């Protein structure tokens, strides 16, 4: 059922809940008053204000995380009608009812819709996704970036570690250690930086280790769900090319490639 007049009265939500990391998941249904221009966060706040389920029974308020409410922080990521996305930018009027909300199961569930995304930041540590600096002294402006490279780098820098690309990727699961598609643009971004380029080889080598680039199956699900439209697939191709060159360098012990 698409958006119809039924929505002018109530919104029907089916939310997958979990009391703690070790508890079994269960589903609870809610019916809340409809308001125009509601996003999913507004619907969850309505439940929090009046925690009564569809059967009229009092229940505990649904737990979730939010911060910026403008698709910047990434912590309100959840699966909405089978699609991983941001709750703050997903409008109720654009969803079929009942609206089905689940936590992203790629990550450990803390409670209800709250997940633990620490694995993403550990992955960034593994590939050294930062720009090193020498001391704290002002040594003047650094080298200027080519304009085309700057535009490309800006697009890559939009990643806010929301995690939806990992949820959509079939290769991110408990059967392997693949860090996920979001790492490719971050490696490419840091390698494109005039200072970060000095550690390019080290960064690529670390991404060639277990859980790295070889885990990608090129399903391209990631680029379809990315809320920022980051060119993930082109980054996958670019990093794979860099890894091939780095393999030659390592094999021959030369920097001439």
For residue 198, tell me if it sits in a domain. yes
pLDDT, mean of residues 43-70: 96
My answer on whether 158 and 98 are in the same domain is no
For residue 130, tell me if it sits in a domain. yes
My answer on whether 200 and 171 are in the same domain is yes
My answer on whether 154 and 240 are in the same domain is yes
Token pair recorded at residue 222: 């990631």
Note the pLDDT of residue 233.
94
For residue 195, tell me if it sits in a domain. yes
166-178: pLDDT as tens digits = 999 999 998 889 9
Cα 206 from Cα 144, distance rounded (Å): 27
CATH number at residue 54: 3.10.20.30
My answer on whether 57 and 168 are in the same domain is no
% of the chain beyond a pLDDT of 90: 81
Note the pLDDT of residue 131.
87
148-162: pLDDT as tens digits = 999 999 999 999 999
My answer on whether 150 and 222 are in the same domain is yes
For residue 32, tell me if it sits in a domain. yes
My answer on whether 130 and 15 are in the same domain is no
My answer on whether 219 and 143 are in the same domain is yes
In degrees, rounded to 5, the angle at the alpha carbon of residue 133 between the alpha carbons of residues 131 and 139 is 130
For residue 106, tell me if it sits in a domain. yes
Radius of gyration in angstroms for the set of CA atoms belonging to the chain, rounded to a whole number: 22
My answer on whether 125 and 232 are in the same domain is yes
For residue 257, tell me if it sits in a domain. no
Show Cβ contacts of residue 200 under 8 Å, excluding neighbours closer than 6 positions.
Answer: 191, 242
pLDDT, mean of residues 232-245: 94
My answer on whether 58 and 103 are in the same domain is yes
112-146: pLDDT as tens digits = 999 999 999 999 999 999 988 766 777 777 778 88
My answer on whether 96 and 156 are in the same domain is no
Note the pLDDT of residue 137.
72
Note the pLDDT of residue 63.
97
In degrees, rounded to 5, the angle at the alpha carbon of residue 187 between the alpha carbons of residues 241 and 165 is 100
pLDDT at residue 230 tops 90: yes
pLDDT at residue 43 tops 60: yes
Sort strands 26-33 and 99-102 into parallel, antiparallel or unpaired: unpaired
Kindly indicate the confidence band of residue 256, based on its pLDDT and cuts at 50, 70 and 90. very low
Domain, as residue range, for 9: 5-115
For residue 217, tell me if it sits in a domain. yes
Last residue within a domain, chosen from 115, 131, 158: 115
Note the pLDDT of residue 195.
86
Token pair recorded at residue 73: 């922080």
Cα 131 from Cα 119, distance rounded (Å): 20
My answer on whether 180 and 211 are in the same domain is yes
CATH number at residue 171: 1.10.1060.10
Note the pLDDT of residue 255.
53
Domain total in the chain: 2
My answer on whether 123 and 244 are in the same domain is yes
Last residue within a domain, chosen from 115, 146, 180: 115
pLDDT at residue 221 tops 60: yes
Last residue within a domain, chosen from 115, 138, 167: 115
């Amino acid at each position: 059922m698409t958006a119809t007049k039924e929505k002018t009265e109530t919104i029907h939500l089916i939310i997958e809940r979990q009391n703690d990391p070790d508890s079994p998941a269960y589903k609870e249904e809610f019916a809340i008053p409809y308001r125009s221009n509601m996003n999913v966060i507004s619907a969850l706040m309505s439940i929090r204000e009046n925690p009564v389920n569809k059967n009229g029974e009092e229940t505990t308020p649904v737990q979730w995380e939010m911060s910026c409410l403008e698709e910047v922080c990434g912590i309100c990521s959840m699966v909405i009608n089978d699609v991983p996305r941001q709750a703050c930018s997903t409008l109720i009027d654009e969803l079929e009812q009942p609206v089905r909300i689940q936590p992203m199961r790629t990550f450990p569930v803390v409670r209800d819709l709250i997940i633990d995304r620490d694995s993403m930041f550990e992955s960034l540590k593994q590939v050294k996704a930062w720009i090193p600096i020498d001391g704290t002294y002002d040594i003047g402006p650094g080298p200027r970036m080519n304009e085309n490279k700057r535009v490309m780098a800006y697009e890559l820098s939009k990643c806010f570690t929301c995690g939806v690309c990992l949820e959509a990727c079939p290769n991110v699961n408990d059967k392997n250690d693949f860090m996920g598609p979001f790492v490719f643009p971050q490696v490419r971004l840091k390698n494109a930086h005039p200072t970060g380029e000095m550690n390019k080889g080290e960064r690529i080598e670390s991404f060639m280790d277990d859980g790295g680039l070889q885990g990608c199956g090129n399903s391209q699900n990631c680029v379809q769900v990315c809320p920022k439209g980051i060119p993930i697939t082109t980054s996958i191709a670019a990093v794979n090319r860099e890894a091939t060159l780095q393999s030659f360098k390592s094999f021959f012990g030369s920097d001439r490639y």
